[in-house]
């Protein structure tokens, strides 16, 4: 279940798990004999491998804690064979350590905010980061411009983790610096854009709600009205609700009805402000394509990472909402190296064209992965 293997490079803490691995399992003599007498031994062996693969995948999806109990064993078989098991540490975190004194672990945050930032939005970012630090989060800033030093004036600057790469997107950073083994100790990972007003948002209360509602993937609702940009109706705040998981649209296109079971009617969040549990992020990270930096199309497939029924495990939190300012902050050309005749328009058009192209590439890869992976069963068939 979950993702087709050609979209999700399946691995558990560094070890690739797939059909080829299970084909090396020795068979009992009786089973070996029956297979040898079968008119299609290769087919039988393939079916057996598929069954084992599906069983193990379902087991890890239903019981994520099993991953923790097998970390040392798995790592011991892939590059650390010469080490005693007790010395192997399979995961890490983003907590900074003191240069002096005993290496005593302090009681630290178990939640992470990662956000792509540019200096032009420093006031908005300051409001966001200040709120998250006050709720005992770790904060990681992805700097896509050259103004890293200009953040030093903020009192929280030295507490944040700073990563710098010019003109790269949030998803480029996330694929490279938020590997599931690095962030596995965080209960929730907030992967936000920088153009979000948080006057009506409190991180602590938000977490209380998503825990209570059992949401694995979520986002804060978007305020409607002047000054707030809402592109998809399901993300708009519903004033009478604490949380909503679907919306209804009776006219236009296919509509969103009571019996609608998929995105964008239900089981869907927008990619500007997603919030993942550690288990959901482990799945989603594998689905992010290394060369597709805008992650278009990923939103329609996040339901496969919901750790259960996507119509229940994915939702929009109305009680804690944000203002989406809709600022075009990424994708501009580098004016130091190249200044086109119309810098702003050329930059935005280039981003738009690249985004649509990436969407089609992702769709094509997904279809190919579905066809090639004979051991994968789609839990959400069309």
322-337: pLDDT as tens digits: 999 988 765 433 333 3
Q: Which residue has the higher pLDDT, 139 or 44?
A: 139
What pLDDT does residue 77 have?
46
Q: How far is CA 266 from CA 104, 233, 246, 270, 378, in A?
A: 45, 11, 4, 12, 17
What average pLDDT does range 10-15 have in this prediction?
Answer: 42
Residue spans of the domains in the chain: they are 111-330
How far apart (Å, rounded) are the C-alpha atoms in residues 347 and 330? Answer: 9
Q: Count CB atoms within 10 A of the CB of residue 244.
A: 18
Contacts of 223 (CB under 8 A, 6+ apart): 197, 200, 237, 321, 322, 323, 324
How far apart (Å, rounded) are the C-alpha atoms in residues 72 and 86? Answer: 8
How far apart (Å, rounded) are the C-alpha atoms in residues 255 and 248? Answer: 7
β-strands 217-222, 314-324: how paired? Answer: parallel
Q: What is the dihedral of CA 52, 57, 60, 62, to 10 degrees?
A: -110
Listed range (176-180, 254-258, 296-300) with the worst mean pLDDT: 254-258
What pLDDT does residue 50 have?
64
Contacts of 300 (CB under 8 A, 6+ apart): 263, 264, 268
Q: Does domain 111-330 have CATH number 3.90.550?
A: yes
What pLDDT does residue 225 have?
84
47 has pLDDT over 50: yes
- Of the candidates 168, 117, 171, which has an alpha carbon nearest to the alpha carbon of residue 296? 171
| Token duo for residue 108 | 């630290």
Contacts of 234 (CB under 8 A, 6+ apart): 244, 246, 247, 256, 264, 265, 266, 268, 316
256 has pLDDT over 60: yes
What pLDDT does residue 43 have?
62
What pLDDT does residue 161 have?
96
What letter does residue 246 receive in the DSSP assignment? B
State the pLDDT confidence band at 127, using cuts at 50, 70 and 90. very high
Residue percentage of the chain with pLDDT more than 70: 72
What average pLDDT does range 292-300 have in this prediction?
Answer: 93
Provide the mean pLDDT of the chain: 81
pLDDT tens figures, 214-243 = 999 999 999 998 878 888 889 999 999 999
How far apart (Å, rounded) are the C-alpha atoms in residues 52 and 174? Answer: 32
pTM: 0.77
Report CA Rg, the chain: 23
Q: What is the largest CA-CA distance in the chain?
A: 76
What average pLDDT does range 231-258 have in this prediction?
Answer: 86
What pLDDT does residue 259 have?
86
279 has pLDDT over 90: yes
Q: Count CB atoms within 10 A of the CB of residue 180.
A: 20
What pLDDT does residue 21 have?
42
Q: Is the peptide bond before 264 cis (omega within 30 degrees of 0)?
A: yes
How far apart (Å, rounded) are the C-alpha atoms in residues 344 and 357? Answer: 20
Q: Which residue has the higher pLDDT, 54 or 192?
A: 192
What average pLDDT does range 295-309 have in this prediction?
Answer: 94
pLDDT tens figures, 88-111 = 887 787 888 878 777 766 656 689
What pLDDT does residue 231 have?
84
β-strands 314-324, 243-244: how paired? Answer: antiparallel
What pLDDT does residue 187 have?
96
Listed range (72-76, 98-102, 195-199, 346-350) with the worst mean pLDDT: 72-76
Contact 114, 178 (CB under 8 A): yes
- Of the candidates 219, 199, 229, which has an alpha carbon nearest to the alpha carbon of residue 123? 199
What average pLDDT does range 29-42 have in this prediction?
Answer: 48
């Amino acid at each position: 279940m979950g993702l087709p293997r050609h979209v999700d490079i399946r691995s558990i803490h560094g070890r690739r798990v797939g059909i080829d691995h299970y084909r090396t399992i020795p068979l009992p003599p009786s089973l070996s004999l029956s297979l040898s007498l079968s008119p299609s031994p290769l087919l039988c062996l393939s079916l057996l491998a598929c069954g084992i693969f599906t069983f193990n995948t379902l087991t890890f999806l239903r019981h994520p804690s099993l991953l923790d109990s097998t970390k040392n064993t798995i790592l011991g078989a892939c590059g650390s064979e010469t080490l005693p098991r007790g010395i192997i540490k399979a995961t890490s975190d983003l907590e900074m350590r003191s240069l002096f004194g005993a290496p005593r672990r302090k009681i630290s945050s178990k939640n992470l905010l990662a956000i792509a930032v540019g200096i032009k939005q420093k006031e908005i970012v300051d409001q966001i980061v200040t709120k998250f630090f006050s709720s005992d989060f770790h904060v990681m800033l992805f700097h896509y411009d050259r103004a890293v030093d200009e953040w030093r004036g903020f009192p929280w600057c030295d507490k944040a983790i700073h990563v710098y790469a010019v003109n790269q997107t949030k998803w480029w950073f996330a694929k490279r610096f938020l590997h599931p083994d690095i962030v596995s100790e965080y209960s929730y990972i907030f992967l936000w854009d920088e153009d979000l007003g948080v006057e009506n948002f409190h991180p602590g209360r938000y977490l209380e709600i998503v825990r209570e509602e059992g949401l694995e993937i979520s986002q804060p609702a978007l305020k409607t009205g002047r000054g707030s940009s809402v592109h998809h109706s399901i993300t708009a705040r519903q004033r009478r609700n604490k949380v909503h998981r679907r919306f209804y649209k009776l006219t236009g296109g296919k509509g969103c009805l009571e019996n609608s079971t998929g995105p964008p009617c239900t089981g869907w969040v927008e990619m500007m402000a997603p919030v993942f549990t550690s288990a959901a992020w482990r799945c989603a990270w594998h689905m992010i394509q290394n060369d597709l930096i805008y992650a278009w199309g990923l939103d329609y497939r996040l339901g496969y990472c919901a750790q259960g029924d996507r119509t229940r495990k994915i939702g929009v939190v109305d009680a804690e909402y944000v203002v989406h300012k809709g600022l075009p902050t990424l994708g501009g050309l580098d004016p130091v190296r190249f200044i086109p005749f119309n810098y702003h328009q050329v930059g935005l058009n280039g981003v738009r064209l690249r985004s649509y192209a990436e969407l089609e590439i992702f769709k094509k890869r997904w279809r190919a992965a579905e066809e090639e992976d004979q051991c994968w069963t789609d839990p959400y068939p069309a």
